[in-house]
Each structure stands twice: as structure tokens, then as C-alpha cells.
Amino acid sequence: MREFDKGATRDDDDDKLDYDGFYHPLVMETFAKYMHKHRVQPDGNLRDSDNWWKLFGKEHKDVCMKSGFRHFMDWWMVHRGFPSRDGIVEALCGLIFNANAYLLKVILDNLKEKEEQE
């Protein structure tokens, strides 16, 4: 139990997820700007911000891996002092996006598998 200066009490937060500590606002803002920039499709239409939640079909993991690997290569090139396609921020945000999309599919598959076992 935590007790504060004026007597207020709260339960301990040792076992609670610390989103404020696990994420940094500058990273979140930069990633959101990256995602917003890439909402514009080649035909000029603006896709919904959560469009990627729909996944990329049966090849979802392969799509994420191939794209993520290209972004990783850009990151690695910059890290080693070489030019990349679009710079370090694009590379890292692209890698984060693909990792998030891949992770979402893994989580959804695990939930589905768990439901089927029940």
C-alpha cells in the first residue's frame, strides 16, 4: 500500500504495466508522424489509420518480413556509414511498423488457438 503526504492511499503499482515508462513520447510522436505520412495511397486516397489491423492476407507474415528486412537493411546501411533509401528515421519507423504488424498477427493467432482449445 502506498500512502501519500496528505493521507491519500493507493495500492502498490509494482505489478502493473507502466506504459508511461515503457514508451517515450518523442518516439510515439515520431512513429505517429511516420504512420500518418504513409496513410496517403498512390491514388491520393487517405487510408484509415488502423487499416493495417485488417492484416495483409494469407501472406501477412511474409509481407511483414520482406518489408521489415528492407527497412532493417536501410538501418544497417546508415549504422555502417552508408546511405539508405530514405534515412534513419524512415528505416526505424518502417521496421517498427512491420514488427508491430507481425506481432499483431502472432497475438491474434495465439488468441484464436486458445479459443479453439477451450
Residue 1, pLDDT above cutoff 90:
no
35 in a domain, yes or no?
yes
pLDDT score at 3: 87
| 3-class DSSP assignment, residue 83 | coil
45 in a domain, yes or no?
yes
81 in a domain, yes or no?
yes
Q: Which three three-digit cell numbers place residue 72?
A: 532493417
Residue pLDDT, tens place only, 23-77: 999 999 999 999 999 999 999 999 999 999 999 999 999 999 999 999 999 999 9
Q: Round to whole Å and give the CA distance between 99 and 94.
A: 9
Q: Round to whole Å and give the CA distance between 112 and 95.
A: 26
10 in a domain, yes or no?
no
CA of residue 118 relative to chain centroid, distance:
30
Residue pLDDT, tens place only, 66-105: 999 999 999 999 999 999 999 999 999 999 999 999 999 9
DSSP state for residue 13 in the 8-state scheme: -
Rounded to the nearest 10 degrees, the angle between the axes of helix 88-117 and helix 60-79 is 150
102 in a domain, yes or no?
yes
Domain total of the chain = 1
Q: Round to whole Å and give the CA distance between 95 and 67.
A: 8
**Measured CA distances, 35 to 16, 28, 57, 90 (Å):** 29, 10, 20, 10
Q: Round to whole Å and give the CA distance between 65 and 30.
A: 22
> Locate cell 491519500: which residue?
8
Range of the domain at 46: 24-117
